[in-house]
Amino acid sequence: MKFSRNRAIAFAVIVPAFLLATASCKKSNNTNIGGTMTASLNDTAWTANYAVGGIYTQIADQFEIVGARSSSGDTTSFYLSFSTPFSVNQSISSDTSSLDVQYIDTKSGVFFDGGNIAGHSLLTVTTYDLTNLKIGGTFSGVLYNVVNSADSLVITGGTFNTAFTLQ
């Protein structure tokens, strides 16, 4: 399945907007939305400088975590999506599950995927607290440009730690 450039750009805008909008809806008592996300992209450090947010959609048994970085008029973001159940400290692979790791650059319109469309990724949940609605973990993978499969990003040392809302 190929993603058009316009569809990739729309996806890059809609996903973070959706997460921010739904995170502000108070279906749970958790008001501490925020956290951290870091990774290395082709050996270049990346750190989210906007609040990292997470949503757990109960009806779909799906976690979605987004971290964004804005610098010099460019916004880049990671989108992590994975299903439950999962085991803490055991890797989830996009090759054998619904894990998807995506990287989006809104200025250039480039959209990289590591799971649902192209590439492959790993994610490990290292902390999970359903009582206090917090989740943390690591991620890595090889993500491919959905328009130009010869273009790829190697993601290493990815980490996330955030509160999440229940939907």
Q: What is the pLDDT of residue 149?
A: 87
Q: Return the domain boundaries, the chain.
A: 5-166
pLDDT reported for residue 34: 66
Walk along the chain (167 residues) and give the pLDDT tens digit of each residue: 334 444 444 444 444 444 444 344 444 443 334 699 999 999 999 999 987 999 999 999 999 999 999 988 889 999 999 999 999 999 999 998 889 999 999 988 999 999 888 899 999 999 999 999 999 999 999 999 999 988 999 999 999 999 999 99
Tell me the three-class secondary structure of the chain, residue by residue.
CCCCHHHHHHHHHHHHHHHHHHHHCCCCCCCCCCEEEEEEECCEEEECCCCCEEEEECCCCEEEEEEEEEECCEEEEEEEEEECCCCCCCEEECCCCCCEEEEEECCCCEEEEECCCCCEEEEEEEEEECCCCEEEEEEEEEEEECCCCCCEEEEEEEEEEEEEEEC
pLDDT of residue 116: 83
